[in-house]
Homo-oligomer: A and B are copies of this chain.
Amino acid sequence: MDNSKVVENIYLLVIVTLLSVLQNAFFAHKVEKECQHNKTPAFQRLSCASRNCMDVYPTFLAVMWCAGLCLSQAPAAFAGLIYLMVRQKYFAGYLGQTSQSTPGYLFGKRILFFLLLMCVVGILNYLLVRFCSRNYKEYIDTITSAASTLLLIP
């Protein structure tokens, strides 16, 4: 199996993963910088925001990669990109730098739900192909790509 054949199917997912890693590094850097002034309220907030982000991170990665592998990578990577933007906004809102977001425990639920739905559709399509030899992949791909733009609505 040639490497470039594998990369063809996942390169968008890899790019989004790399961006998420850079964002993690940014969060960790922020926390580390505030770490000297331990016990200040700012550090508590930062640490809490970073922890909430990191708690959901494996779930996000798992769902995005499954959606990308089972259905198609472009909408999955697009949804992943929007998730990263939502996370950035959530983190900034937690710091109190902006007043545009109201931090809670969870964020980006809609995007994760969309990715989850993509996985389910992908699995169902695979089972249909296998047991009924019907392939709706093309229709599904079109619908998914169209639906992914709906995520842009705030």
Contacts and interface: CB of A to CB of B under 8 A. Distances in A.
Given A4-B129, A69-B3, A70-B14, A21 B104 contact: no
Given A21-B62, A58-B61, A1 B8 contact: yes
Interface string A1-25: 1011111111100110110111011
Nearest to A127: B11
Interface in A27-62: 28-29, 31-32, 35, 51, 54-59, 61-62
Interface string A119-137: 1101100110110000001
Interface bin, chain A: 35 or more
A144 interface: no
A42 B126 CA distance: 43
Majority secondary structure of chain A interface residues (helix, strand, loop or mixed): helix
Interface of A: 1, 3-11, 14-15, 17-18, 20-22, 24-25, 28-29, 31-32, 35, 51, 54-59, 61-63, 66, 69-72, 104-106, 112, 116, 119-120, 122-123, 126-127, 129-130, 137
Q: Which 6 A-B pairs have the closest CB atoms?
A: A32-B105, A58-B58, A7-B126, A14-B66, A24-B59, A1-B5
